[in-house]
Structure 1
Amino acid sequence: MDGFLNLNKPAGLTSHDCAAKVRRLLKLKRVGHGGTLDPAATGVLPIALGRATRLLQFLPGDKAYRATIRFGVKTTTDDLEGEILTAVPVPTLTLEQVEQALPQFQGKIQQIPPSYSAIQVQGKRLYELARAGEAVEAPIRTVEVFQIDVLDWRAGDFPELEVAIACGAGTYIRAIARDLGNFLNSGGTLASLTRTASSGFLLKDSLTLDQLSEQIQQGTFCPILPEFALEHLPAVNLSAPEGKRWCQGQRIRLHPELFPAQACRVRHENGLFLGIGQLVEPEDIQLNDAEVEDSASGNGLILSAQVVLVPEG
């Protein structure tokens, strides 16, 4: 079974836990996940099944979230799962003040990931170092936030802001909550988080673990086809002889309609998805004698194999 599962992750499970449960339900050895979600978070968790685990790296990185930020509170983890550092009521904080601050957190921004995160420093995860009591400064990263839309405002001693956030890969919503609170001199932490979209998968199309189990028992579960999940990549169609050669690891000469250094979907002329290829300029690689002779016949790109899903034959 090769393909993808759009899983609606429940609260309380790690992404690794979810992959393990899917592995047991489907009786598969190879199961992986893309875009880790914190245990307290819910929503879209892309799961790769079988040989599709090799395709996770090619999924688009854009994500979208629905988040609730609570002001007046600071925690060790930048969400409500951590120890409360300070809790100071800010009843005078207004939605207008918050809306004026939000543009500071859109576009390409510098962000320090939470101390309790999966980023590796000195060969260890930050959360491992934090739990061990080691004070390690997380590396500053450049991330991109495409849009932040206000969904709701709940005034009070510890007011809450509900927002929809569209962002690129690597963005920590907990860090936005923390930094927005610091910018407003109120303190802030993430109260809840749901990922509504990830890698092209949408929450409205996702399956819960219970729904997955039911479909498996009924024999109706069908994984998302790999090519469907990779539609954002350009496609290259090969003739039957070219497709066979490519699946055997040979590089194929192409006309220059596409851009070099691109990953692309490789398809048989009959529409069968063969795998992922890489387009490169001939001068960027060492060609064999046959490819050198072919290269002399005209301009073009070389299609090399990165991930082949269809075996030779």
Structure 2
Amino acid sequence: MTTAPRARVARRPVHGVLLLDKPLGWSSNDVLQKVKWLLRAEKAGHTGTLDPLASGVLPLCFGAATKFSQLQLDADKTYAATLRLGQKTSTADAEGEVIETRPVAVESADVERIKAQFTGPIRQVPPMHSALKKDGKALYEYARAGIDVERAPRDVIIHELNMALILTNSAQAAIDIIVKCSKGTYIRTLGEDIGEALGCGAHLSALRRIGTGDFTEQQCVTLEALEAMTEVQRLACLLPVDSLLAHHSVVTLDADNAARFLNGLARRGAWPDAPQVAVYEDKTHALLGTAHVQAGELIPGRLLSPTEIEQISNASRTQVYAHTPEVQPI
């Protein structure tokens, strides 16, 4: 018996940002491909990997939004996590084997005492079970082969850290933490280092990203909800491309200058210096791209193509975005 070939999905241009509440057990790329298929989108990318063990805020960029995804990669992140005290594992999280067990004699005062040690600028040694590359090979590949390689410490910033000593459902000592941190912070490493500072060891038993940049978990849609929607409802979940540019100054150009700007030509005007600028066409309010202003010169950065601008304009006539930022001149 022969099986009928699976129908090919007709892809289409989709532009915008979807805030997904990533489910446990899925890799970031697997969930991206699933949502890309649900939207029938031609082009997509995510904005920073979440481990399968982690859930929470994962901004997915489609079409023109992929040009600005680096902004979310660089954004501060906020996590809620639980540290299981008294056990170290091979991976510093619940997926690894227990490699050391120690008694736990920790009180709330001890947790409060070490808080300053892990707040502000700190240094971390990246974990072996990470995607960081060494000689073109991911560290986790060395780890799976039983090879430990030297890793240089990295400077990161812990902006805020709240910790509370708790007992789990199985009466095990643990710490619930909420941490706002700079990009590149390893929460598994933070948890392991906190365990060492308390003298009992620890590993990460749960991790959820509750914020990235200005985006929060309250804005997210679950994969289950997305699957249950119609195509029109799914598209309505998209934030516009310029939701990634919320902290950019704004410059508007007339049609003539907009056309030159889109050709990569700098424009002159009475604008104050600004490192990050979102540029719009003044009559249509169409996003043209990003730039920076130096000495009265608007210098192009990442630009949308005329085709992308037209596609976004056409879509906006039939599609209600979840959020449209107000355009304010610089």
TM-score of the aligned structures, taking structure 1 as reference length: 0.87
Letter in 2 for 1:62: D
Q: What are the ranges of 5 or more consecutive residues in structure 2 without an aligned counterpart?
A: 1-13, 311-330
In the alignment, which residue of structure 2 is the partner of 1:34?
47
Instruction: Return the match for 2:61 from 48, 62, 79.
Output: 48
Secondary structure, in 3 states, of the residue corresponding to 1:16? Answer: helix
Preserved CA contact (<8 Å) 2:291 2:298: no
Preserved CA contact (<8 Å) 2:122 2:155: yes
Deviation sequence 1:135-192 (CA, Å, 0-9, x none):
1122210001111113552289741111111111111111110001111111011110
Letter in 1 for 2:287: F
Q: What percentage of aligned pairs have identical amino acids?
A: 33
Residue 114 in structure 1 maps to residue 110 in structure 2: no
Preserved CA contact (<8 Å) 1:251 1:305: no
In the TM superposition, 1:240-279 aligns within 5 A as 240-259=255-274, 262-270=275-283, 271-279=285-293
Q: Give, in angstroms, the shift of residue 266 of structure 1.
A: 0.9
What value does the CA root-mean-square deviation take over the aligned residues?
A: 2.0
- How many pairs does the alignment contain? 292
In the alignment, which residue of structure 2 is the partner of 1:284?
none
Q: Give, in angstroms, the shift of residue 301 of structure 1.
A: 2.4
Residue 238 in structure 1 maps to residue 253 in structure 2: yes
Q: Decide whether aligned partners of structure 1 residues 4 and 24 sit closer, same or farther in structure 2, where only a CA change above 3 A counts.
A: same
Q: Give, in angstroms, the shift of residue 50 of structure 1.
A: 1.5
Secondary structure, in 3 states, of the residue corresponding to 1:255? Answer: coil
In the alignment, which residue of structure 2 is the partner of 1:208?
222
Q: Give, in angstroms, the shift of residue 307 of structure 1.
A: 2.6
In the TM superposition, 1:1-313 aligns within 5 A as 1-59=14-72, 61-90=75-104, 92-151=105-164, 153-154=166-167, 158-217=172-231, 219=233, 221-222=235-236, 223-259=238-274, 262-270=275-283, 271-279=285-293, 281=294, 300-311=296-307
Secondary structure, in 3 states, of the residue corresponding to 2:142? Answer: helix
In the alignment, which residue of structure 2 is the partner of 1:289?
none
In the alignment, which residue of structure 1 is the partner of 2:326?
none
After superposing on structure 2, the runs of 4+ consecutive aligned residues of structure 1 that deviate more than 3 Å are 155-158, 216-220, 309-313
Letter in 1 for 2:289: G
Letter in 2 for 1:239: D
Question: Using the alignment, how far apart are the partners of 1:251 and 1:137 within structure 2?
Answer: 46
Question: Using the alignment, how far apart are the partners of 1:221 and 1:63 within structure 2?
Answer: 26
Q: Give, in angstroms, the shift of residue 221 of structure 1.
A: 2.8
Q: Decide whether aligned partners of structure 1 residues 274 and 302 sit closer, same or farther in structure 2, where only a CA change above 3 A counts.
A: closer
